[in-house]
Chain A
Amino acid sequence: MTKIILGIFWLTFAATGVAASDHSQKMSWIEFKNHFITEICSSKPKRMKAVLQELGSFTVANQDSKIIKKRTQWATDLISGIQTKNFRCSKGGKTYLKRGDKFLNPALMVEIKLGDEKYKAPFLHLPVRPTLETILATSKLINSFEGPGSLDLDQLALLEKKPDFINTDQMAYLLTSQLSDSSRERLVFVRAFKMLKSENVDEVSEALRNLSNIPSRKTLTAIVKVRKNIDPVKNPELMKIADDAIAEINLSIQIGKAMSIVYSGLSYSSILFLASIGLAIVFGLMGVINLAQGELIMIGAYVTFVIQECLAAIFPSMLPLYLLISIPFVFLVTGGMGALIEYSVIRHLYTRPLMTLLATWGVSIFLINMIRVSFGTQNLEFYVPDYLVGGLSVFGDFLITWNRLATIIFAIVILIFTLLLVKKTRFGMNVRAVTENRAMAGAIGVNTRKVDLLSFAVGSGLAGLAGLALSTIYNVNPTMGTNFIVDAFMVVVLGGVGSIWGTVFAALLVGMINVAVEPLYGAVAAKVLVMVLIIAVIQVRPEGIFTMKVRK
């Protein structure tokens, strides 16, 4: 009975957050913990949100830093438990927190035995999540902070994304600790969103200054909203600060946007380049229309997957490096497969290009089905190493994502490798000789058979490496290759058959146009425009933009 009354009591107070948190200060810590658990078990978004804020305030309400640590530790454990569904409630009001294979009483953190009741994790409705995540992040920050220095950057970044949901008491407590300048600056920035709503003019103007330090669309929106409420007659100075801040942020956003387009363009171009460089050699230099090129990309991704699985089974500690470790294997396997295709199929068809087209199409379908039978049709799950997750907010809303950056760098490395191979080695010289004049090259002693075989193998190996790089960005399944084959042919034909620089240029052109047009007119229009461009170019320069001077 008392419980019900208490519940109703809390329900009334939960709506008025301030009154509730005032009251909760009068509770003892253990009383509050029990109260928190009941509220969470209610699964009602409003009550959960309110009690999470109360928890934030309660953890820092004491003066003793040891007690604060203890409380934030509890908050961190419990909120993580709620998030991972290790915290569960029964209908009868019983609860547990699972840690390892032990069941704990969540308030006291002592082991308990469970009855045969049914336990369910409290449901996290969408509006609860931001509060839950910010309180958890702040608790983790308080809990892990060991004295003068910097704060955990990951948690800080979480707070920066959801400044509206922070707990001001926790924030104030954090700011009293001895922080490094950069951490303090970021915390002050996060707090500024809340301070904007303050009645105090000085606080608002300070908040405005802090916000304009880290310009983004979000800060702009917040400032514009505040500016509407400023009375220009009463507070002309504040108005000016707001206007200056808006102008400054606007400029930064524009620059950020431009940088972002260039970056996206580079990233898409590098993907196109990777997908087509193998084809540039096979089709460009050798004149073989290889429709199985996309499937070689796919095989490359599958070999990467196999290496990943082997590493996970044999050397789990090496797993984060699987992408680097896979490089030689992928190149050798797909290269070897290319050599096999050349030797068994294409070798017989050099004089009949149309036949090669049909035969390689057959090979591509064979490869797709071979993989489908042996691996299944589902998308493969790749382990994404930490260094490839997320990105760095650079300027305005411009975000450099690590995996895209890695792809760009990888594309550059492959470009250099290919250029060196074709321009500086004896093998490359032979390839160029055969491309220019097969009969003459043969006459002066170049083994054209061997050159054909090797170039096809190299082209296939490069396609495999593309598959490796793309596995972190795209879905890996048996049909992934078909997505790339059209793009790859487009790039190679546009760039000029037989020219590596042409491929680079065409990939950049197609990538940049796509990215620049997409936000304005949509992805469909971008694709149409690129096609029109290619048709136009082929009309004027049938051999592509860059052509090799060859004696006909």
Chain B
Amino acid sequence: MMNRRKFIKVAGAITGAAAAPAIISSAFGAGHSKTQKIGCLFSSSGAMANVEGRLNSVVDMAVAELNAAGGVLGKTIETVITDPASDWPLYAQNGRQLLLQEKCKALFGCWTSVSRKSVLPVVEQNDALLYYPLHFEGEENSDSVVYMNSPPASSVLPALEYMMSEDGGSASRFYMVGSDYVWPRTINKINKGYFSSLGISEESYKETYVPFGFSNFQTIINDIRDFADQPGGPPIIILTVVGSSIPAFFKEIINQGILASDIPILGLDVLEADLEGLDTTSLVGHLNCWAYLQNVESEANTQIKSNWASFVKSNGLPYKPDVMIDPMVSAYDGVHMWAKAVEKAGTFEVPAVKEAFDGITFNCPSGYEISLGSENNYVARGVFIGSVNENQAFDILWQSDDTPKPVPFSPYA
């Protein structure tokens, strides 16, 4: 009887601890006046875990760099990591805890737009800052969020333009597949607005959505083959599924023997990390567009890649040491740009830090000098179009001359 009771207690404790994903773990123990806390809101469990989870460690790494250089304003920075478990309302709950309980001055977090929308009111009400590292659908301009990545006007539309050009294969018919939430729906709305502005008829495109975490793409890909063989010119797939659906989609594409020369895919959320575990020889030629690609040749890029490899090794992290993806770089840039703004403001207080944003620049691993302007909180980034190669990475197909001025609100939406 003793045993059983004891066992239940232990089992209960284990389940409780593991089941409540809102448990907050502090990286260096409770804070005192010599330190300043910042918070991380990236899921390390659930459907987004595979790609999103590693951003926690990236923030840790950037913070370690800051501390090694003497901290910020003489204070050691401390990261507080939470796990919102790919559960959107939990982002808001954890965010509130980070701000009110842990007294974090800045949050770094969110991958999907739905999670950002969930934290947004919390950040705004508490007059805090959220650094958001993903490229997204735009149509939002909160002064409490620093948008580290590009809105569609400077990422998706240049890529589409390329694919519709003669060099890109003169695409004239579009099959849009997305996960069913705000980012894919808004992106596709903008796409459709763009198409109709070019006089492309409604018969030339088709859109369909799948539930979050969906993986059985057999019928949808059958339907895509059917769509592709209809008259009207070369088809492409605009892929906006996210998380674990991406490799599942590619697996079925390989399985049905579809090559980039048959139907090219423009994967808007496809990253180097999504190709892990896939045999990319039959995926060569499919495209994506981001503000950073792993194959960029720049000093800062070599630096961050070697830093990450040794950080993964020395901390025994469960990530591939040689995979660096755009959101990782954006989160990394975010930490450094936050530190620069704080140094410029001379205080950690959020209103003063916001005042200091205008003119902050950072030498991004993408090889561009990225900057914040006075008009909005969008960071101006360079744009890349990448093409899948046989080494589970992307070759750079095209890149912008400089950093185009970000346009948060699309005229096509």
Contact = CB atoms under 8 A, between A and B. Distances in A.
Interface stretch (B110-118, B134-142, B225-233, B373-381): B225-233
Contacts, number: 193
Interface residues of B, number: 71
B208 interface: yes
A246 interface: no
B46 interface: yes
Contact of A524 (B211, B213, B276): B211
Interface stretch (B91-99, B189-197, B247-255): B247-255
A474 B11 contact: no
Interface residues of A, number: 77
B210 interface: yes
A358 B12 contact: yes
Interface in A358-400: 358-359, 361-362, 365-366, 368-369, 372-373, 375-382, 384, 389-391, 397, 399
Contact of B260 (A85, A129, A355, A373): A129
Interface string B256-278: 11011110100000000100111
Interface stretch (B47-55, B74-82, B145-153, B353-361): B47-55
Contacts of A381: 276-279
Given A375-B318, A378-B50, A519-B219, A126 B168 contact: yes
A216 interface: yes
A39 to B, nearest CB: 16
B248 A391 contact: no
B215 interface: yes
B257 A390 contact: yes
Interface in A122-147: 123-127, 129-130, 132-133
**Which residue of A46, A267, A483 has the most chain B CB atoms within 10 A of its CB atom?**
A483
A475 B248 contact: yes
Interface stretch (A218-226, A277-285, A449-457, A538-546): A218-226
B38 to A, nearest CB: 23
Interface stretch (B13-21, B364-372, B404-412): B13-21
Nearest to B227: A217
Contact of A129 (B252, B261, B277): B261
A198 B44 CA distance: 60
B216 A379 contact: no
Nearest to A372: B318
B215 A358 contact: no
Given A358-B11, A519-B219, A524-B209, A217 B247 contact: no
Nearest to B222: A260
Given A125-B168, A126-B168, A399 B390 contact: no
A127 B262 CA distance: 10
B301 to A, nearest CB: 18
Interface string A484-504: 000000000000000000000
Interface of B: 4, 7-8, 11-12, 14-15, 18-19, 44-47, 49-50, 53-54, 163, 166-170, 180, 208-211, 213-216, 218-220, 222-223, 225-226, 229-231, 244, 247-248, 251-252, 254-257, 259-262, 264, 273, 276-279, 285, 287, 318-320, 323, 389-390, 395, 397
Given A376-B319, A479-B46, 16 more contacts: A85-B389, A125-B169, A127-B170, A161-B257, A221-B231, A268-B216, A361-B19, A365-B19, A377-B53, A391-B256, A473-B255, A479-B47, A479-B50, A522-B210, A523-B208, A524-B180
